[in-house]
Structure 1
Amino acid sequence: MSGLASPEAGIVAEALAGLTAPRKSLPPKLFYDEAGCALFGAITRLAEYYPTRTERALLTRVAAALGAWVEPGAALVEYGASDEEKAELLFGALESAAYVPIDIAAPALAALAARMRRRHPAIAVHPLAADFLAPVRLPAAIAGLQRLGFFPGSTIGNLDHDEAVAFLARARTALGPGSPLLIGVDLEKSLDILIPAYDDAEGVTAAFNLNILTRLNREAEADFDPALFRHRAVWNDRFRRIEMHLESRVPQSVRLAGLRIDFAAGETIHTENSYKFSEARFAALAAQAGWIVAESWTDPDRLFSVQLLVSRS
């Protein structure tokens, strides 16, 4: 492995673990290098991609109701904060004193913090570059403040069941007693809506998916030819999820950190899941981590929901 240092060593280890498994996969957090963050931003503006615009519209309604649950001057703790646009819809209603954006993409997080300090100088910004799927210690500077956890975008749907329960349980502990969690949850719907949202006509989602190979070429000593893979988005009815895959167009061999990895024609790398929920199934999931759904908001077409969770005890 040529003595690769962290974080590259971690990327190599995760990539090799997934690509040498019987069913090849890559962790979706590898999407989010600088190019991946930009491509995801472009996805959120696509006509086919309903989650972002639907959630934003809901958050304008939700913000007005938060006063019943969160005291003025609370700290907003956002998990997976690649940008601040959704958080900004809440700052006024919360009279936020502090904002803790947490994300694994350190460059995007630094740019977010710089923008926030220019646009909202009265709000103390404490960026935390971390993998929120691991235990996270919140900054000591917000120790005396109530916290509102914020996990938008239905990112919860990218986690398998056990991962989702573990994340929700860790967030409950980190946020502390009396601190609710506001979370975006994508709902079950027609495949005529779902599939185009993950396989758009312009090919932006395909470029986002393929960019993970470009990142491995740059950071993990790989030699993928992205042109020899195609993006696929499929519905898995058994697990109620959209799956994203990269399918090998031809039989081929790729090297990564000195190891040869063979692909058959049609073999795929599974890169992401996006689970879709009924409100009852999500409530049951949250309950396993010690949360109760206190309030839930949905759009008129029931495409998406924003749910406020409070601790069960």
Structure 2
Amino acid sequence: MTSLEKHLDERDLARSLRADVRDGLTATPKRLPPKWFYDARGSRLFEDITRLPEYYPTRTERLILTENAAEIARITDAKTLVELGSGSSEKTRLLLDAMLSRGTLGSFVPLDVSESALVEAVQSLGVAYPGLSISGVVGDLTRHLRHLPDGDNRVVAFLGGTIGNLVPEERTAFLTDLHAALHPGEWLLVGADQVKDPGTLVPAYDDAAGVTAEFNKNVLHVINRELRADFDPLAFEHAAVWDPDREWIEMRLRSVRDQTVQIKDLNLTVPFAAGEEMRTEVSAKFRRDGLTAELAASGFALRHWWTDPQGWFGVALAQAVQI
């Protein structure tokens, strides 16, 4: 049985895009949130990125889940699995298989901002798991956690290192909202990329084939199409920079010349100086102690921690506690 619940529609997305672009391109320094990478083209490009030799997070997290999904199922005895930012839900099948084998799982709730990606995932999973109740939620994980279906013994999976795309104050707000949506004793499974040598980190966001550069510039194509702007993607170059103080990667678009961009639907003129950079994504990297402290501050107690032999990526299982 499959169903879809919508808390975002095209008008909501249009308003959000307009607000983000106006706020971000009039800020100093300029910035855009990474969620606008992901139209159909951007989603395909990201799938290409996950298969690149430089991009270790996806395959490393998949290895950890492959080795530990059965233990996660045993520890949690989950009746409902919720996935935030589900996309294609590919890695989640490892958890679904383990939890169904355990015999406790009855429902799966994927949440994603992209209705098209969610519909595709729900339909595909409905065929693969005909006995499972699958209820897709079209929503923004920073705004709609309160709309997650209530249940008994839920596990919320937030995988892919996506938690690192939230800056610290956003992570605090997200974890606090998620804790409020869960009952004490319910679970959060979070994938977190770990701090490591910049020689490994930076190429993961600046691959030799230039796929990440195209993905980064896709936000310009989205704004051109949706807001009638005249960004020239060739007038910007991709940059990935490691910030050792904040311990995060910043993806930026750097203007190659002095230029002015018109965004007709916002009646906005945006000047760029040659060499000026606009931040398009933050990807924070974590240390176990730091993540444990962040979770605890929002009411989650770390119960288990799994990593790969190189210690490149961590998967944390935390439990909501009474605060």
**How high is the TM-score relative to the length of structure 2?**
0.92
Equivalent residue number for residue 312 of structure 1: 321
Q: Shift of residue 139 of structure 1?
A: 4.9
Q: Does 1:151 align with 2:155?
A: no
Map residues 9-158 of structure 1 onto 2, 5 A cutoff: 9-71=15-77, 74-95=79-100, 96-140=105-149, 143-158=150-165
**Correspondences of 1:226-237 after superposition (within 5 Å):** 226-237=233-244
Measured in 2, the distance between the counterparts of 1:297 and 1:78 equals 19
Kept after mapping to 2: 8 A contact 1:135/1:170 = no
1:205 aligns with 2:241: no
Q: Which runs of 5+ in 2 are unaligned?
A: 1-9
Is this contact kept in 1: 2:184–2:321, CA < 8 A? no
2:259, 2:180 → 1: CA distance?
46
Which residue is equivalent to 2:302?
293
* Secondary structure in 2 matching 1:69: helix
Is the 8 Å Cα contact of residues 161 and 192 (structure 2) preserved in structure 1? Answer: yes
What one-letter code is carried by the residue in structure 2 that aligns with 1:86?
A: K
How far apart in 1 are the matches of 2:279 and 2:229? 18
| Superposition deviation, residue 271 in structure 1 | 0.4
Q: Aligned-pair distance for 1:157?
A: 0.7
Question: Comparing 202-211 with 115-124, which one deviates more in the overlay?
Answer: 115-124
Instruction: Measure the CA separation in 2 of the matches of 1:67 and 1:107.
Output: 29
Structure 1 gaps, min length 5:
none
Looking at structure 1, the residues matched to 59 and 75 of structure 2 have their Cα atoms a distance apart, in angstroms, of 25
**What whole-Å deviation, never above 9, does each CA across 1:235-266 have from its counterpart, x for those lacking one?**
11111100000000000000112211000000
CA RMSD in angstroms, aligned pairs only? 1.4
Structure 1 residue 209, shift from structure 2 partner: 0.4
Deviations 1:5-56 (A, max 9, x none): 5432321121010000121000111111111111111111111000000000
Structure 2 match to 1:184? 191
Q: 1:182 to 1:139 in 2, by over 3 A?
A: closer
Aligned residues: 307
Question: Could you tell me how far apart the structure 2 residues matched to 1:62 and 1:8 are?
Answer: 40
Aligned residue type for 1:226: P
Q: Aligned pair in 2 of structure 1 residues 247, 144: CA closer, same or farther (>3 Å)?
A: closer
Identical amino acids, percent of aligned pairs: 42
Contact 1:295-1:307 within 8 A present in 2 as well? yes
Q: Matches of residues 198-277 of structure 1 in structure 2 within 5 Å? A: 198-256=205-263, 257=265, 258-277=267-286
Tell me by how many angstroms 1:64 deviates: 1.6
Q: Distance in 1 between matches of 2:72 and 2:14?
A: 41
Report the Cα offset of residue 175 of structure 1.
2.8
Moved more, 241-250 or 277-286: 277-286
Q: 1:67 to 1:136 in 2, by over 3 A?
A: closer
1:168 to 171, 175, 180: 175
Structure 1 residue 61: Cα displacement: 2.0
TM-score by length of structure 1 reads 0.95
| Preserved contact between residue 148 and residue 181 of structure 2 (Cα < 8 Å) | no
SS in structure 2 at match of 1:7:
helix
Offset of residue 66 of structure 1: 1.9
Q: Distance in 1 between matches of 2:26 and 2:16?
A: 15
- With 299-308 and 161-170 compared, the bigger mean Cα shift is at 161-170
Compute the displacement of 1:291 (Å).
0.9
Asked whether the equivalents of residues 231 and 246 of structure 1 are also in contact (C-alpha less than 8 Å), the reply is yes
Superposed displacement of residue 67, structure 1: 3.6
C-alpha change, 1:67 and 1:260, in structure 2 (3 Å) is closer
Q: Which residue of 1 aligns with 2:5?
A: none
**Equivalent-residue separation in structure 1 for 2:77 and 2:61 (angstroms):** 23
What is the alpha-carbon distance in structure 2 between the residues aligned to residue 22 and residue 237 of structure 1? 21
